[in-house]
Structure 1
Amino acid sequence: MRALYMLLLALCFLASQIAPGAGLVNLFRRYPEYDCAKKGGTCNFSPCPRFTKAEGSCYRGRARCCV
């Protein structure tokens, strides 16, 4: 029974292999909307409100991150 579990564990490890060179960077990629909110800003389709400045973009470049 123990050998069966070891074989199953080995099969799971083989099936979950990431392609060489892919790295872990793309697995945990954050969206620009998340980064904007983390900075305390908002994503606006219209110009930024007074006393804020545009720092980056959101929604594939259609909106601005206003901080």
Structure 2
Amino acid sequence: MRTPCLLLLTLCLLVSQVAPGVGLLTSLGHRPDHYMCYKNGGTCLYSSCPIYTKVIGTCYSGKAKCCK
């Protein structure tokens, strides 16, 4: 009974080691800025915001404005 537990523990320790590609997995829960704009009730525009609206952020990695 001890041998399978020891092997399982060893396998878990080997898998949990930090690998070079782990940094790619950190962005899985991150939402893009245009999603957050739409979620907050804004719209993404490449031109300036219309009258009676204001800029509340950016969209598409800073290439557009989020207007609300």
Corresponding residue of 2:47:
46
Q: Which amino acid aligns with 1:58?
A: C
Corresponding residue of 1:36:
37
Q: Which runs of 5+ in 2 are unaligned?
A: 1-10
Provide the aligned C-alpha RMSD in A.
Answer: 3.0
Count of matched residue positions in the alignment of Structure 1 and Structure 2: 54
Deviation at 1:26, TM superposition (A): 2.2
Q: Which amino acid aligns with 1:63?
A: A
How does the TM-score come out when normalised to structure 2?
Answer: 0.61
How does the TM-score come out when normalised to structure 1?
Answer: 0.61
Q: Give me the identity figure in percent.
A: 44
Give the Cα–Cα distance (whole angstroms) in 1 for the partners of residues 26 and 41 of structure 2. Answer: 24
Give the Cα–Cα distance (whole angstroms) in 1 for the partners of residues 26 and 53 of structure 2. Answer: 31
Q: Which runs of 5+ in 1 are unaligned?
A: 1-9
Superposition misfits of 4+ residues, deviation over 4 angstroms: none
Q: Which amino acid aligns with 1:39?
A: N
Question: Between Structure 1 and Structure 2, which shows a larger proportion of helix residues?
Answer: 2
- The higher radius of gyration belongs to 2
